[in-house]
Structure 1
Amino acid sequence: MSFQELGSGKTSGESSQVNFLSEKKAIATVLSADSVESGPTFDARRTGQLLRKMDWNIVPFLSLLYLLSFLDRTNIGNARLDTLENDLGMQGLDYNVALAVFFPWYVAAEIPSNIMMKRTSPSLWLAIIMFGWGLCMTLMGLVKNYTGLLIARMALGLCEGGLFPGVTWYITLWYRRHECGLRMAIFFSAATLAGAFGGLLARGITEMRGLGGLRGWAWIFILEGILTIFVAGIAKWVIHDSPETATFLTEEERTEVKSRLKQDRTSLADEYASQYLWDALKDWKIYVHMLITIGIYTPLYSISLFLPTIVKAMGYTNEKSQLMSVPPYVAGCIATIAGGWAADRAKQRGLFMIGFCFTAIIGFVMLISTDLPGVQYVGTFLTVCGIYPNVPMGVAWNGNNIGGSTKRAVGIAMHVGFGNLGGVIAGFAYRSAEGPRYFAGHGLLIATTTMSMFLSLFMHLYLRKENERRDAIWREQNLTIDSYTEDMKTAEREKGDNASFFRYTL
């Protein structure tokens, strides 16, 4: 027995057992590293099972979070059809201002929130901001004047700002680039469900008017806020931070997920460094996507905030308007998921975005060109089915084409943040004085959607040309993706999407 064994109080047998276990652990670590290095090992059947397992453990709860988020920010549209404006002494553009003040604070929170989420953990940070906006929503039901409503809306924007860019980045931690679109589409489809459920819930909740001395609109805010707080209470234990710590995955599955991501991300840097933040701020392509996004988010928020008002202007009652706003959102939900699935299958984004923009433009033209309620109502279906699918598709397209985890997190936050400034514009798109035809509002949305359509076409053509240029350089050097070694990739790991082996998603 050695002095070390005596000092540790271990027998020779115990020491041998410890050494054996240590060696076994070391061998497992090496094998795991080798597996990651050698690439994915699952066949198509097992890969499908793995993806479904991740989907069921990740996507539904994230979708619930966004459903509550979108419900809480847009339920003011349904509250307006109750007695909100009269009770708070609102007149003129007061309602439009109440809508608009939400968005600057929402945008201001997005980049800092994504950085905090990366520096802490997704489960903790998402639970914190969710509790915050649930509390703001609940307190909004207790406001007694217009000033209180404005303060509550600003606080709500500050708390909600981190959810969408945070979850968008979070999804990229689990899925390959051409698998993200469908998951983001399912996640964002919750916004369409929020529009559908919002109308149904509002119709029922407003019947509580007078209970506890509160108006119907107050109960809309309070009950939906309490529901959000409840879900926030369990979020920390339901959200899995990363594949490395996911308890629902086996060790073999964790290794496979890491291998798939490593192969897809082509060895680009994943660590945090300020250099990658500046890389995002200097990338002109992200700014083009920001313009595309504001052109889509402006009609997105215009529809979500004013659809009950638009339907009411067709000649329907308040109650019927709330119910008639449901079917377009159901159609939009189907279009969003179907579009995400098709884009992932085709490994294309730009062409789909162009097509959806064109669909929305037709819908807005139907709204602006006639006063026939039937034609206008069909137009609402086309606008929802054209605009909503482009939100997750746009952020997936931009995220697919940003190399490196930190740059991607910042780039997505820039993308979503600037796009959400469209909410400020949307707040003034439909003014009461311009009803019931709302020529200026519909015309504005035709213009912004057309801008997004042509910029999407430009990006599609540019990225295709850039891929062809990089392919041509490789051909001159007799290189292929298979002959490009891991050492060669590592040498370019800090270049992000400017690395010679990176190819853009079209």
Structure 2
Amino acid sequence: MSGDLDIKADMGTETKQVETAEGASQELVYDKAAEGRLRRKIDLMILPTVCILYLCCFIDRANIGNARIAGMEKDLGMVGYDYNAALSMFYASYITFELPANILCKIVGPGWFLPLLTVLFGACSLACGYVTTGPQMFAVRFLLGVFEAGMLPGVAYYLSRWYRRSELTVRLGAYSITGPLAGAFGALMASGILKLDSFAGVSSWRMIFVIEGVATIVLGLIGFATLTDRPETARWLTAEQKHLAEERVRSERVGQTKVLDKIDKKKLLLGIRNPITMSTAVIFLFCNITVQGLTIFMPTIIKSIYANYTVIQQQLYTVPPYAFGLVVTFLVPMFASIYDRRQIFIIMSAPLGIAGYIIFLATKNTTARYAATFLIASSSFSLGALTNAQVSANVVSDTARSSAIGFNVMLGNIGGLISTWSFLPFDGPNYPIGNGLNLATQTGTLIVASVMLLWMRRDNVKKARAEEEELEKIQGLSAEEQEDLDWKHPSFRWRE
């Protein structure tokens, strides 16, 4: 049989034919109404907290861009490439701790781990408001990267414990919209904060870090009370709902007898070595050169377009592109979930970014260049949800999923490190090198995603032809050995 589920709707129930660990077919019947009520309850209890915590994460990472145009560099004595170096310090630690953090998230439990990280990176943001030199800012940004490293992969991994493959993409989209939302909201907050005379003994750009850091710490503390690790420990689910929550997720995992397995080195490596994980991580790397660059340098880009405007006006001009990107970032994962397809939507996102950067390179007209920021924002932010959903869909076990998502985000954020050096002072005010680099990454996304879609379809045909013979070869393996096959199980198919 196929590795995907055979789903039949009849009289308000769903009947699913799934593979057990021994390769036998088992019929599982669900009440669709009961499952709908469960899904809505999970959405209500899990998604708001996750979205708010990730919003804090993105704001605390990006607020340095708002502080920059409000006088931070001059006050700290930062010159030349010091600003780029401060950004790089964040990504140096962020990339290093990405994969270990997601494995630690599995060990500790997301319900405790994610709120703890939020409190810690909130404290780092707060500390940024009290630094007095460039090197001190470098050090605090390095610590910020350590504590933020586990958030993006941790949230994606956490949601995969609760949702089916087709449901996961739109939920990842729900928290991914916090990226453009953070850009818009952060700019509005910065504009409002800069109108204050002082706060907690600081003034000017320092208030941005202090006020947003305090808010993050408070929300992180609230997260300890509102997040729970997994369905089994959720006090707000009945016994029947807990069973349904686990069974519906397990039913999509070929050859698995349980949703949460113990950490296994073999499956950790399978999650990383998965062809879809590796190719999707390259796409996410390309994506992050654009997303992180846009997030950090958007105020600088807007300043180059509207050089004669006030600082507050420049801050406010960064809001509309983010707002437009927010809408697209929600709609694209929603349609990807409806059709249970991710790869084609990854492919479709690239042309908008390509068009945007061609405009940046082709004209100095301010109206056209500002319009280009809308195209770029709409093309990139949704890829965070799509790529993490894609690697999650193409592994089987919980352990492999934690390493696959961790690797995707880790490699992806090398793109974030590259982005910190994409818009350099000597390249301004039109930044042809930075825009050319981003045009190349958008084109790379289109090529890699298209090639991998063709490869998946071709390999699935080969797998189907050889399935019966391969199933006979594993009949003598124990249930545990068959679980360890993960995506190499004969009945597994690549999910587009």
TM exceeding 0.5: yes
Aligned to 1:19: none
| Alignment RMSD (CA, Å) | 2.1
Name structure 2 gaps, 5 residues minimum. Answer: 1-24
Q: In the alignment, does 2:178 pair up with 1:190?
A: yes
Give 1:391's aligned residue. 384
How far apart, in 2, do the equivalents of 1:218 and 1:281 lie?
41
| Contact 1:293–1:391 under 8 Å retained in 2 | yes
Whichever residue aligns with residue 487 of structure 2, its letter is D
* Residue 77 (structure 1) aligned with residue 68 (structure 2): no
TM-score normalised by length of structure 2: 0.89
* Whole-angstrom distance in 2 between the partners of 1:43 and 1:281: 36
Query: Residues 279 and 231 (structure 1 numbering): CA distance in 2 closer, same or farther, change over 3 Å?
Result: same
Q: CA deviation at 1:176?
A: 0.9
Q: 1:200 to 1:117 in 2, by over 3 A?
A: same
C-alpha distance in 2 between matches for 1:477 and 1:394: 30
Deviations 1:85-104 (A, max 9, x none): 11001111111111111011
Whether 1:493 and 2:476 are equivalent positions in the alignment is no
Matched, 1:409 2:402: yes
**Of the candidates 46, 50, 53, which is equivalent to residue 62 of structure 1?**
50
The residue that corresponds to 2:14 in the other structure is none
- Residues 70-469 of structure 1 mapped to structure 2, 5 A cutoff: 70-211=58-199, 214-268=202-256, 270-315=261-306, 316-469=309-462
Percent identity of paired positions between Structure 1 and Structure 2: 31
The farther-off stretch of 239-248 and 279-288 is: 279-288
Alpha-carbon shift at residue 410 of structure 1 (Å): 0.8
Contact 1:75/1:221, CA 8 A, preserved across alignment: yes
- How much has 1:477 moved relative to structure 2? 9.1
2:38 corresponds, among 50, 67, 79, to 50
Distance 1:478-1:372 versus aligned 2 partners, 3 A rule: same
Between stretches 406-415 and 258-267, larger displacement belongs to 258-267
Distance 1:216 1:175 in 2: 44
- Superposed displacement of residue 266, structure 1: 2.2
The answer to whether the 8 Å contact 1:41/1:256 transfers is no
Contact 1:357–1:386 (CA under 8 A) maintained in structure 2:
yes
**Residue identity opposite 1:301 in structure 2:** Q
Question: Secondary structure of the equivalent of 2:78?
Answer: coil
Give structure 1 stretches of 5+ with no counterpart.
1-36
Alpha-carbon offset, residue 491 of structure 1: 6.1
* AA at the equivalent of 1:133: F
Cα displacement (A) at 1:284: 4.1
Q: Which amino acid is 2:100 matched to?
A: P
SS at match of 2:256: coil
C-alpha contact (below 8 Å) 1:489/1:501 kept by paired residues: no
Alignment CA distance shift 1:83-1:493 (3 Å): same
Q: Is 449-458 or 428-437 further displaced after alignment? A: 428-437
Please state how far the C-alpha of 1:209 moved relative to its aligned partner: 4.3
Structure 1 Cα separation of the partners of residues 247 and 147 of structure 2 = 35
Whole-Å separation in 2 of the counterparts to 1:259 and 1:280: 22
1:56-101: CA deviation from partner (whole Å, max 9, x where unpaired): 1111110001100000000000001101011001111111111111
The whole-number CA distance in structure 2 between the counterparts of 1:336 and 1:441 is 23
SS at match of 2:305: coil
Separation (CA, whole Å) in 2 of partners of 1:189 and 1:503:
30
Question: AA paired with 2:156?
Answer: T
In structure 1, C-alpha distance between the alignment counterparts of 2:471 and 2:217, rounded to whole Å: 58
SS in 2 for 1:264: coil
Counterpart residue type for residue 158 of structure 1: V
Counterpart Cα distance in 1 of 2:80 and 2:314: 22
Which whole-Å deviations, capped at 9, do the CAs of 1:155-193 have from their partners, x for residues lacking one? 000011001101111111111111110000001111111
Determine helix, strand or coil for the equivalent of 1:272.
Answer: coil
Q: For each residue in 1:201-227, what CA deviation from the matched residue of structure 2 results, as whole angstroms up to 9, or x when unmatched?
A: 000111224556523211100111111
Q: Which structure has the bigger radius of gyration?
A: 1
TM-superposed CA distance for 1:474, in Å, is 3.9
Q: CA deviation at 1:414?
A: 0.9
- Contact 1:39–1:260 at 8 Å: present in 2 too? no
CA contact (8 A) 1:40 1:256 kept: no
Q: CA 1:488–1:347 in structure 2 vs 1: closer, same or farther (change >3 Å)? A: farther
Tell me, in whole angstroms, the C-alpha distance in 2 between the residues paired with 1:489 and 1:60. Answer: 38
TM (norm. structure 1) is: 0.88
Contact 1:182–1:341 (CA<8 Å) still a contact in 2?
Answer: yes
On the 8 A contact 1:185/1:337 being kept in 2, the answer is: yes
Cα drift, residue 40 of structure 1: 4.8
**Does the residue aligned with 1:42 lie in a helix, a strand or coil?**
strand
Q: CA deviation at 1:119?
A: 1.2
Partners of 1:209 and 1:219 within 8 A in 2:
no
What is the rounded CA distance, in whole Å, between the counterparts of 2:273 and 2:364 in structure 1? Answer: 47
Q: Distance in 1 between matches of 2:194 and 2:73?
A: 15
Cα deviation code 1:305-352 (max 9, x no counterpart): 011111111124322121111111111111111111101111111111
CA 1:38/1:476 → structure 2, altered by over 3 Å: closer, same or farther?
A: closer
| Residues 396-405 or 42-51, more deviating | 42-51
2: CA distance between counterparts of 1:364 and 1:109? 32
CA contact (8 A) 1:302 1:429 kept: yes
Q: 1:369 to 1:173 in 2, by over 3 A?
A: same
Q: State how many pairs are aligned.
A: 465
CA distance in 1, matches of 2:425, 2:30: 59
